[in-house]
Amino acid sequence: MPKFFLNPSPFKHIIAAAHSSSILQFRFCPSLRFSHNIPPTATTPPPPPATTATAASTMSSSVSAAEEGNARRFWIKSRKESILALYTPFVVCLASGSLRLDAFQHYVAQDAYFLKAFAQAYELAEECADDDEAKVAIGDLRNGVLEELKMHNSFVQEWGSDLAEENALNSATVKYTDFLLATASGKVEGVKGPGKLATPFERTKIAAYTLGAMTPCMRLYAFIGKEIQALLDTNDNSHLYNKWIENYSSESFQASALQNEDLLDKLSVSLTGEELDIIEKLYHQAMRLEIEFFLAQPLTQQTVVPLLKEHNPEEHRLMIFSDFDLTCTVVDSSAILAEIAIVTAPKSEQNVLENQITRMPSADLRNSWADLSRQYTEEYEQCIESILLTEKAESFYYDGLSKALEELSEFEKRANTRVIESEVLKGLNIEDIKRAGERLILQDGCTGFFQSIINNENLNANVHVLSYCWCGDLIRSALLSGGLHALNVHANEFTYEGSQSTGEIIKKVESPIDKVLFRDVNGILAAASKWVMILKKGASTYSLSGMATDIQLSRSGVEREQHKMKIMREALWHEKTKSRRDD
């Protein structure tokens, strides 16, 4: 039964806010299941580090549309396609270093045809540009392509063979090169050919259209190069395709990709909305053709990639597991519950009405939360220090990981017990909790992702939300407000007297071990019911066709660091392990 686990659930790290108007700040540390030294993103797609040369490639949607150029906007819309390209079998094998040499040689031969078409397209675009500065910029980009061809020639010299003679053009290469040269020649739907364009301004449109068909390829290669480079050990130069990776992850290539985008923005600045729509269409068509190019590379080796088999709803059931805090939400549920407790607490000791639960004053409650937070912080750091290995593991260490998770689970349980004994969650009104849940902001794409599963009649799926949240009512009200009534929620629960919480918690899901047990039980049910797929869905990227994740890792529990490409790393680990076995 294939199982895909996309994101370990984060452990809550509660920090009292100092000199802040907010009541509490919350930081998170994920499960140690994937606590490798992975350089930062993910988000998915995971953007390159924000350097000067790569700023335009950042995928964050936080920048307002007014600040984005057209090229950046098109790239953000191509998020799914860029992730799909990253997970193609060819790229996974290349990144892991296990790609067979004959497959790489075939790719280099196809890419040479590709680059020659690029050089020709730049030449045609330069002829159409009416601005001297633009002409110079296009000429520089063409020279960069010629340098890439030199790199390909160096591969050929090393191998001592004529790849062009040994590898004929495949259909995917022909599709992209024909599309590119047709665009550069003005053969675009609804556009006159260059020979029929009366003014220099009209000819400039062809240059803009041509850049629209070329820019996604440059940005995609820059993106893939950075992503692979981030996974490699900087002290290990033994990777078989290190030269290729260094080229496309280099600052010079990142700068070339950015230069393409800047030039596209400049050439399209005076175009109409209809003409910009044409460029966007060309951009996305180029992305699709580039993915077809990667998928067309022949492989005779088995490859581990995060893909799902064809779904037969009569025989199969897809089980999707999702975390809640920071996976579905922007703010952690513990912060919400703490704020409800403090805001609704009495200012001072008050006479308690009949059938009301006695609560501590807000000042005392605030101090109690601060003490709990401080103790959690100190003990969490001690726990992490005690279970982290002093040396980098050479292989997957299951027993050590199990022991570490058991220790971490015991720590989480002790922390929850202190919360109960402190009575800080005593006296919360169920209606206040539900209202807070209804107003809870979910991650972009979260609601749409789950609705696409619920509303798909051709999909036999069962969605389970597993969370350490202290109060399942908060989760259910948040999901119901988004129309997600069909999701199964598994979390801890408050106990109530009437409409008020007693401060007690019914403990159901407190730790990583609890989640593993839930998975194992459902695995048995799945096998008995012919449920063939168990998938844990996590993080802030929501897509059925390609799922990426953010992993946050903090050794000290104080600093947060975004991590990218867990799925890729799992695939690479499997590839390397298989390669060693083959050797």
Bridge partners of residue 533, in order along the sequence: 318
User: Which residue is catalytic, options 126, 227, 261, 290?
Assistant: 290
Q: Which residues contact 527 (CB under 8 A, 6 or more apart)?
A: 1
The secondary structure of residue 552, as a DSSP letter, is E
Evaluated on CA atoms 524, 529, 535, 538, the torsion sign reads negative
**Residue 434 CA from chain centroid, whole number:** 30
Spell 423-452 as b/e; 16+ CB within 10 A means b. Answer: bbbbbbbbebbbebbeebebbebbbebbee
Quickly count: other Cβ atoms within 10 Å of residue 399's Cβ. Answer: 7
Catalytic residue at 349? Answer: no
Q: Which residues contact 284 (CB under 8 A, 6 or more apart)?
A: 74, 77, 78, 81, 216
Assigned token pair, 559: 């600093």
Mind giving me the DSSP string for 12-74?
Answer: EEEEE-SS-SSSEEEEEEE-GGG-S-PPS--SSSPPPP--TTTGGG---TTS-GGG--HHHHH
Quickly count: other Cβ atoms within 10 Å of residue 176's Cβ. Answer: 24
Catalytic residue at 133? Answer: no
The 3-class SS string of 464-497 reads: EEECCCCCHHHHHHHHHHCCCCCCEEECCEEEEE
| Interstrand relation of 500-506 and 24-30 (parallel, antiparallel or unpaired) | unpaired
User: Which residue is catalytic, options 29, 93, 217, 471?
Assistant: 217
Q: Which residues contact 362 (CB under 8 A, 6 or more apart)?
A: 342, 343, 345, 346, 347
Q: For residue 537, what is the enclosing H or E element?
A: strand 533-537
Burial (CB count <10 Å: 0-12, 13-18, 19+), residue 278: buried
Burial (CB count <10 Å: 0-12, 13-18, 19+), residue 375: middle
Cβ 461 vs Cβ 544: under 8 Å: no
Residues recognised as catalytic: 217, 290
